[in-house]
Every structure is written in structure tokens, then in C-alpha cells.
Amino acid sequence: MSELSQYLNSKGIRPTAVRILVLRALQQQQQSAVSMADLEEVLQTVDRSSVFRTLNLFLEHHVVHQVEDGTGQTKYALCEEKCRCGARHEHLLSDFHVHFYCEHCRRTICLPDIAIPNVAMPEGFTLSAANFVLKGTCAACQSRVAQSKNKFD
């Protein structure tokens, strides 16, 4: 059995050809969150509704988490081993990590090592999701900018 099938099994998902294709496509994003449209472009052989159903299944089983980065498109990123988005029913803010939206390359990147700071919820409020998005220039774009500056010095 392939590594990807094993991974899906370990998450309680029966591996199918489509699920493995979607998982592989997500893995190739290297911590970047992608939209449905991005995935469809990569997975041209898979029909739209299958991609959609697979993403929802992955969400339920905490293979991916959702990111609302302010672009108006819901994005999906693979949960890392330390991702605790599915750890419990009653979420704490610190179960969610921070995301970074790069204004240059327009990628939305998971920062799994940075938990959202805990805020005491007012009484009677329960938390189901949290989106903490920082915007700016990612490391890759930063070094590109620095390089092009050097060229003209």
C-alpha cells in the first residue's frame, strides 16, 4: 500500500484514486493554502464535484483545514502532524495556527508553529473556528526583492 493510502486509512478515509490525487495535489503546495479553483486547475482530469466532495470529506476527517484569508475564496491547507484543528470538540484559540497572506505572490501560507494567542471568551460564547491572517511579504518574496535591489546598486 502506498504511503498516501496509508495516510488516508490512518485518518479513517477509504483511499480511492480521486482522494489520492487530491491529497497529492495538496501535498505539492508546501504549506500554502489553495482554493477549489486552484485545485481544479491542477487536477484537470478530476471533475469539479468530486474535488468538492473530497475536500469536504478531508475537512471532516481533519486532513485539511479551511482558511478565510480575506480574498473572498475559501482556501484549504493540509493539516500537519502537529495541527490540532481536530483535537477536541471544544476549541481553544491556541488550537488554531496563524496564516500569512503574501501581497506579492498572493500565497496564503500556514505558520503551524505560531498558535493564535488565547483570548478569554465571554460567558456563553463557544468557538468553532478561528481565522487569524497576517499580511505582508513572505520570505521568498523578501529575498527576491533584496536580490533585485542589489542588482541596481
Residues lying near Zn ion in the complex (CB under 5 A) are found at 77, 102, 104-105, 110, 138, 141
CA angle 115, 98, 124 (to 5 degrees): 70
Q: How far is CA 104 from CA 61, 72, 145, 152, in A?
A: 32, 17, 10, 20
Q: Between 48 and 104, whose beta carbon lies closer to Zn ion?
A: 104
Q: How far is the CB of 107 from Zn ion (least distance, A)?
A: 6
Cell, residue 96: 488554531
Q: Between 54 and 108, whose beta carbon lies closer to Zn ion?
A: 108
Q: Between 34 and 77, whose beta carbon lies closer to Zn ion?
A: 77
Q: How far is the CB of 115 from Zn ion (least distance, A)?
A: 11
Burial of 109 (0-12, 13-18, 19+ CB in 10 A): buried
Q: How far is the CB of 94 from Zn ion (least distance, A)?
A: 14
